Structure 1
Amino acid sequence: MLSRAGLSASSVGISLSAIDVCTGQPDSGPGFEAASETLRRVLEGPFNFIDASGESWQGAEGERCIGKAITEAGGLPDGFVLTRSVGPALALDFSGDGILRAVEESLQRLGLDLLPLVLLRNPEEFSFESATARCGPLATLVGLRDQGLINHLGIAGGPIDLQLKYLQTDEFDAVISHVPYSLLDRAAEPLIQNAVSREVAFVNAAPFIGRLLLDGAGRSAQGVNRERSPARLERSDKMRLICAAYGIPLAAAALQFSTLDPRVTSTVVGASTPAQADFVTELAQWRIPSGVWDDLLDLVEESELAISCRNDVVPTTDPLHYRDQGVTFPAPVPH
């Protein structure tokens, strides 16, 4: 369920952020056509969550592309969650009046009567005081929700402490987090706990630590950076070997580490082609033997020691929720 409001969302969502729809020419060009094809594929299922809140999807051209796909599908399928976003980097006018105009134009281009989920995006780019001022952006969004032009409000991006501050307003139904929550890093744990306590949907947009947990992406020529520290590379290599011994892709285990968590409403994964959308479906449905989880979760416990030593992360000593809440893992069956 998508928070207290009761809208259901699939355990996996598709992010369109990797598709560049900005072709420079409205309704034409290879970018527009590729985006339309991928959108049509996603609208066919099996997931009902499309995250189109990235910068390349804001504005007239991105919304015309989405609107075209919705029209060709005979309308937005019942219960489908489509995200749009507002923020100073996405609109010249971030005032209440500017947001009102942007929402009205979005509805017209999309051919919809309401926007399912609107995100206040990248809140670190503006002050909390200006965003929450009387007649300001948040008040305008709440008013549009009360009028029935917006179904749900969400917050997306920014450091954990700022997202927690916005959740304290009790105006948000969802938080889309780019703070890692994965086999290698549970930095988003404090945000998850707070969201659950408020009955706010937590959407995990960082299940792979960049591409580190995707098969074949562990050792790369990109060099060692914060995401690819020697310790993380070593643990990801160990995880890859564990999965290989059972004949499963590490990416499937990384995705399902998130989707099996009962506190995570949905896990967003990028797909820029219909084939990639099909690949995400395969990862989500892969049957993973319980022995894999026994070995992987030992390494997850080990990684907590590294997380607690980082200055910018709120340490957590909570035990793994899988063991606390009695999650039943899929039975080991051949793929």
Structure 2
Amino acid sequence: MTGASAHGAPSRLPFDLPRLGIGTAPLGGLFQEVSEQDAAATLEAAAAAGITYFDTAPRYGHGQAEDRLGRLLAPAGIAEPVISTKTGWLLRPEPDGSPGTVVTDWTERGIRASLESSLTRLRRPSVDILYLHDPDDYPDEIRRTAYPAVRRLRDEGLVRAIGFGMNHGDRLAAYVAEFEVDVVLVAGRFSLLDHEALTTLLPLCAKTGTAVVVGGVFNTGLLADPSDDAMFNYRPVQAETLARAQRCRELCAEFGVPLAAAAIQFPYLHPAVTSVVVGCRSAAEVSANAAASRFPIPDRLWQRLAEEGFVPSQLPTV
């Protein structure tokens, strides 16, 4: 069974994608190391919360996130996970076995080598989604070799769906307009503080039936905890943006709603959005985010957020 996007366009995805997923960059050591014990507990908490969708990539900890999923999902009790990973970058270890460097490779040989390595780490014969990862500045390479390569991988059954994963809505939209795309992952560009994806990407995906997965709903943590030392889009937050996030928290508090709940549920206001993925590094974060995704939000709060510009006027709030 597949869903439908706005304007009645049938979804290109050949399967239903869970509403909430976990992004595994933290399990690869993003910002700080995560112990093996905490990684296992994170996945166990996901199983307890009924979460089965996991987004990963070779670049997350030089393969560590994929390796941990491959080893720890089954012991956590997740027998049939939905997994998306990414390609376009190859890990080049040093002779001494250290992680070494990550290099771009958009050739068919590179695309296949990347996926084969991912499948080895994930201990799986195939994955559900393969994204071309951050191809912002490589349109010629994508057109000539990379996109045809992932289409062939889909035809061969090594992946079920293909798409692009990026941080820029307009550039993603250009790829959706040019290529047949099953799904896109847009990170940080559709949140309570950033509506970039609404201008071109989301309306286009609704029209084409391209499923949209939204990541970065906390904008690197600011919308989880808008404090002075918070990060916003991978940089220290500026005073004006911090004030906006704190105002958003105040409005949510007036209705007894945690800011994190509004941040996680905001993308679902657009009918093209299929799923939200949130990065988690501990069992506590998984439990908190799962609860936030289910927290009841009254229509009046969405209306108040719209009145102050946190929710665009184009989105339905009732």
Same fold (TM over 0.5): yes
Quick one: structure 1 residues 276 and 232, their matched pair in 2 at CA, closer, same or farther if it must change by over 3 Å?
A: same
1:194 aligns with 2:204: yes
Correspondent of 1:96 among 108, 116, 132 = 108
Contact 1:242 1:295 in 2 (8 A): yes
Partner of 2:213: 203
Q: 1:127 aligns with which of 138, 163, 179?
A: 138
Residue 294 in structure 1 maps to residue 294 in structure 2: no
Distance 1:58 1:115 in 2: 19
Separation in 2, partners of 1:222, 1:112:
35
Distance 1:64 1:227, change over 3 A: closer
- Cα separation, 1, equivalents of 2:193 and 2:16: 28
Structure 2, unaligned runs of 5 or more? 4-10, 92-101
Whole-angstrom CA distance in 2 between matches of 1:182 and 1:111: 34
When residues 185 and 105 of structure 1 are mapped into structure 2, their CA distance, relative to the original with a 3 A threshold, is closer
> What residue ranges of structure 1 are gaps of 5+ in the alignment?
23-28, 305-318, 328-335
Letter in 1 for 2:288: F
Residues 252-290 of structure 1, C-alpha deviations (whole Å, 9 max, x = no match): 112222234322111111110111100101101112233
Counterpart residue identity of residue 89, structure 2? P
Q: For residue 49 of structure 1, what is the amino acid of its counterpart?
A: Y
**1:211-239 deviation digits (Å, cap 9, x = unpaired):** 22224x2444779x988455433433332
Quick one: distance in 1 between partners of 2:236 and 2:266? 19
Cα distance, 1:151–1:284 mapped onto 2, change above 3 Å: same
- How high is the TM-score relative to the length of structure 2? 0.81
SS of alignment partner, residue 254 of structure 2? helix
More strand, by proportion = 2
Select 1:6's aligned residue among 14, 30, 45: 14
Structure-1 residue corresponding to 2:223: 213
Q: Secondary structure at the match of 1:321?
A: coil
Q: Distance in 2 between matches of 1:32 and 1:56?
A: 15
Q: 1:116 aligns with which of 128, 142, 165?
A: 128
Change (3 A) 1:205 1:165: same
- Count how many residue pairs are aligned between Structure 1 and Structure 2: 295
The 2-side partners of 1:239 and 1:109 are apart by 41
Change (3 A) 1:56 1:209: closer
CA RMSD in angstroms, aligned pairs only: 3.0
**CA 1:244–1:74 in 2, change beyond 3 Å: closer, same or farther?**
closer
TM-score by length of 1: 0.77
- Check whether the contact 1:48–1:81 (CA below 8 A) recurs between aligned residues: yes
**Matched residue, 1:55:** 59
Alignment pair present for 1:16 and 2:24? yes
